[in-house]
Amino acid sequence: MSKTKEKKSYSVRSAEQFNKWRSFFQFLVCKCFYMIRLKLVYRLEVNGRENIPKDNEYIICPNHLSTLDPPLIVAVFPRSVAFMAKKELFDIRFLRWWIDWLGAFSVNRESLAPSTIKTVLGIKKSKWVLGMFPQGTRGVPGEIKGISKGFAGLAKITKCAILPVGIIGTNEVKRLPFSGKIIVNIGKPIPYSSNVDEMVKAWNKSIEELSGFKVVEDKAVNGVSNG
């Protein structure tokens, strides 16, 4: 199989590919192994679980501080979560296998491609839920910048609500028991609408309240954000 075909296969996913085997692998890795670390080392605290919709017609949209954020979100939420991953990560053989089995799919972070839309619609047909970071990359504590409009565009296209999630503390690398503290604050869902800019503004306001960080105004881009 050529590299071109291989990359393409990781960007287009059907509902059937978000199956019980990937769900089990994700459960084992994130809800078991990672959760032990999160509770033992970071004293994980989760607020707002009552705001999580019962169905899967929503997009989880947290702020982004570290590589620990995706498994953290999976560990916290009741459903399996499919995260977008930049296509370059699928060039690394072992990492490609690992994130593939964890349910990630490849995206071009520069644009919202038709393959991304097809995959997101496939997720909606499955029992999984989509997770994506509106920030273009990992940020620093205290500020949120580099926000892409891609998450709001997908909410509009798929008619899914946006669920803001504030993450605090994952940037601090800790190893000793009870030496760290991670707080996850889950906000109220933001209903989808035809106005992308209004959805972005609503997420900005909510994420500031949930994280305590300040949104730094810059020119939002139309591309797809990922870790």
E-assigned strand segments in the chain: 45-47, 58-62, 81-86, 105-107, 129-131, 143-144, 161-168, 183-186, 214-215
User: What average pLDDT score do residues 218-224 get?
Assistant: 61
The dihedral sign for the CA sequence 207, 150, 106, 24: positive
Tokens of 77: 């939420």
| 213 pLDDT tier (thresholds 50, 70, 90) | very high
Helix (H, G, I), strand (E, B) or coil at 6: helix
Q: Is the pLDDT of residue 167 over 60?
A: yes
Question: Strand pairing of 183-186 and 161-168?
Answer: antiparallel
pTM value is 0.91
Kindly give, in sequence order, each residue whose CB lies less than 8 Å from that of residue 36, ignoring residues fewer than 6 positions away.
Answer: none
The count of residues in the chain is 227
109-163 pLDDT, tens digit per residue, is 666 778 889 999 999 999 999 999 999 788 888 999 999 999 999 999 999 999 9
Percent of the chain with pLDDT over 70: 90
